Amino acid sequence: MSILLSNGTEIPIEMHKIRIVQKVRLSPARERLQAIEEAGYNTFLLRSRDIFLDMLTDSGTNAMTDFQQAAMMHADDAYAGSESFYRLKDAVSEVFGLEYILPVHQGRAAEHLLAKTFVKPGHVVPMNYHFTTTRAHFELCGGTVLELYTDEALNTQSTALFKGNIDLDRLREALEKHGAQNVSFVRMEATTNLLGGQPFSLANLKAIKAMIEPLGIFLVVDGSLISENAHFIRQRESGYENASIKDIIREIAAVADLVYLSGRKSCSVRGGMIATNRKDLYEAIRPWLPVYEGFFTYGGMSSREIEAMAVGMREMTEPDVASSAADAIKYFVNRCIEEGIPVVTPPGGLACHLDAMRFIPHIPQTQYPAGALGAAVYIASGIRGMERGSVSMDRDREGNDVPSDLELLRLAVPRRIFTMSHYEYAVDRLKWLYAHRDMVGGLEFFEEPPVLRFFAGRMQPLGGWGPALAKKFEEDFGPAC
């Protein structure tokens, strides 16, 4: 929720109290430099103990509620037929209106099963935008991802309300070009992650369905961030001002033929699921569940997490839960704009995204500006962000580097974790870094894995700019900061 102060400022306000806390440490710049050098300038390889504010992701890092924790105590660990599964099934039915459910250990496991079942060599999978694990699974099965976003989607300084929409003309052309028989399905990602957490509209979703249904193509929604997407629909799409978050989620699920999700985001647990009302789709996927994940009633999740997911799923439909990250992000993004720091607009539902191509425009994409910015932000603040640019793109089949459409450093906002003073600290250090942006240089790989290289690849700073930046920081703030 946001609240208006008497001076006219809008601030995010926490609709919860914090009763369990976890200590963090802010190590001095000198130690941070050492940590990032050991991590090969890859923030994924930092140790948690060296991080002050962990804004790598909102995945599995949200604060759980007392009710979620309590539910974990009555988990039924039966290998088969667990009551915990049936409680999750009831929650899926209540929240999504979907009858058939396949639990999986996390979102990419759902993608694996979908790819294994429906993506055949030579197929295309049209979507609003890829996610890293989605693309990897679909390509490993011989498919090609078609990203059919609108012109506005890649504009990082936009006021467009639904940058997660598909361009319907591009979709029509793609269907004509490839033929319905070569389309695995159409995938729409709620609050599109790599575009900066940008939502789609229900009008767009319905138009897609109307176009593909007569061709016998089914519609898949990646609902990992579905409650945030529903929150934006309620705020931004005419006709939905008075709808509840639950109504909107149910409507999205009713338009889709199948919903899958990573439970690590909106549901604030560690797990995932596939759900549908289409028995044919369910039965096609079902045989693979015990092969790759686990028995039908746990699918690789612990019973405790299944219980917590049932509760988290219901809680994500509460307006102040659905808006908790989005309102904090709005504040964080707007404060950055006030200080002249280049960020993606409008604010989305996942993170404050720094636009590396505007932040450090002197670094070419071949030298990974978003990766360099991630390392620089860590040195300057102890804040860990995630590179969402060319490092996150794997090489093409010929082994060439693929420049990313956008070079973003994502500062994710996990739900109910940070407070206003954390965001103010972040803005202050980003402002310092922006003033010294000329000191930041590029990166080059010296260890590069062949798949999802951003997780484990190691890089070095071109021209050794890291130590110089840490030294300048220490001069300005003193050795203890």
Q: Of these residues, 67, 77, 79, 169, which one is catalytic? A: 79
Q: Is 378 a catalytic residue?
A: no
Specify the residue, 196 or 369, whose C-beta has the smaller distance to ligand F0G: 196
Alpha helices in 119-155 (DSSP H): 132-140
Query: How many chain residues interact with ligand F0G (CB under 6 A)?
Result: 14
Angle at 246 between CA 240 and CA 247, to 5 degrees: 45
Scan residues 270-289 and list those touching ligand F0G (CB under 6 A): 272
Q: Which stretch binds ligand F0G (CB under 6 A): 100-108, 171-179, 227-235, 449-457?
A: 100-108
Single residue of 54, 139, 147, 189 touching ligand F0G by CB under 6 A? 189
Of 102-110, 174-182, 279-287, 471-479, the window that binds ligand F0G (rule: CB under 6 A) is: 102-110
> Is residue 23 flagged as an active site residue?
no
Of these residues, 41, 52, 118, 131, which one is catalytic?
Answer: 131
Stretch that binds ligand F0G, among 23-31, 64-72, 106-114, 136-144 (CB under 6 A): 106-114
Minimum gap (Å) between residue 200 Cβ and ligand F0G: 12
Nearest distance from residue 168's CB to ligand F0G, in Å? 22
Stretch that binds ligand F0G, among 103-111, 153-161, 245-253, 472-480 (CB under 6 A): 103-111
Nearest-CB residue for ligand F0G: 107
Query: Please, which residue, 109 or 379, has the CB nearer to ligand F0G?
Result: 109
Residue 383 in 3-state DSSP?
Answer: strand
Residue 139 in the binding site for ligand F0G (CB under 6 A): no
Report which of 111, 255, 97 is spatially closest to residue 193, judged by C-alpha positions: 111
Alpha-carbon gap, residue 38 to 34, rounded angstroms: 6
Q: Decide if 292 is catalytic.
A: no
Q: Pick the closer one to ligand F0G by CB: 58 or 327.
A: 58
CA nearest to 267, candidates 312, 222, 234:
312
What lies within 8 Å, CB to CB, of 98 at 6+ separation is 92, 253, 259, 275, 276, 277
Which one of 68, 84, 106, 227 is in contact with ligand F0G (CB under 6 A)? 106
Contact code string over 43-82 relative to ligand F0G, x by CB under 6 A: --------------x-x-----------------------
In the set 89, 123, 187, 264, which binds ligand F0G (CB under 6 A)?
A: 264
Q: Whole-number minimum distance, CB 461 to ligand F0G, in Å?
A: 24
Q: Is 276 a catalytic residue?
A: no
Q: Alpha helices of 179-302 — where are they, by DSSP H?
A: 202-212, 226-236, 245-255, 279-285, 289-292
Nearest CB to ligand F0G, comparing residues 106 and 201: 106
Interface characters, 213-252, with ligand F0G (x: CB under 6 A): ---------x-x----------------------------
Handedness of CA 138, 194, 389, 324 (dihedral sign): negative
Nearest to 108 by CA among 294, 261, 223: 261
* Minimum distance, C-beta of residue 237 to ligand F0G, in the bound complex (Å): 20
Dihedral (Cα; 432, 437, 441, 447), 10-degree rounding = 50
Q: Which of 61, 132, 133, 144 is catalytic?
A: 132
132 among known catalytic residues: yes
Contact partners, residue 418, CB within 8 Å, separation at least 6 = 53, 328
Query: Which of 128, 150, 156, 193 touches ligand F0G by CB under 6 A?
Result: 193
Sheet with 408-412: list strands edge to edge: 351-355, 408-412, 386-388
How far is Cα 101 from Cα 260, in angstroms, rounded to an integer? 9
Check binding of 415 to ligand F0G (CB under 6 A): no
Q: Give dist(CA 208, CA 192) in Å, integer.
A: 16
Number of neighbouring beta carbons within 10 Å of residue 261: 27
Q: How far apart are CA 165 and CA 161, in angstroms?
A: 10
- 131, 298, 425, 445: residue in contact with ligand F0G (rule CB under 6 A): 131
Distances from the Cα of 232 to the Cα of 194, 261, 317, 320, angstroms: 17, 18, 13, 13
For ligand F0G, give the closer residue by CB, 82 or 191.
Answer: 191
Residue 127's nearest CA partner among 90, 170, 162 is 170
Burial of 48 (0-12, 13-18, 19+ CB in 10 A): exposed
Q: Does 262 bind ligand F0G (CB under 6 A)?
A: yes
> Closer to ligand F0G at the Cβ: 209 or 264?
264
Active site residues: 79, 131-132, 222, 265, 388, 454
Residues that bind ligand F0G (CB under 6 A): 57, 59, 106-108, 131, 133, 189, 193, 222, 224, 262, 264, 272
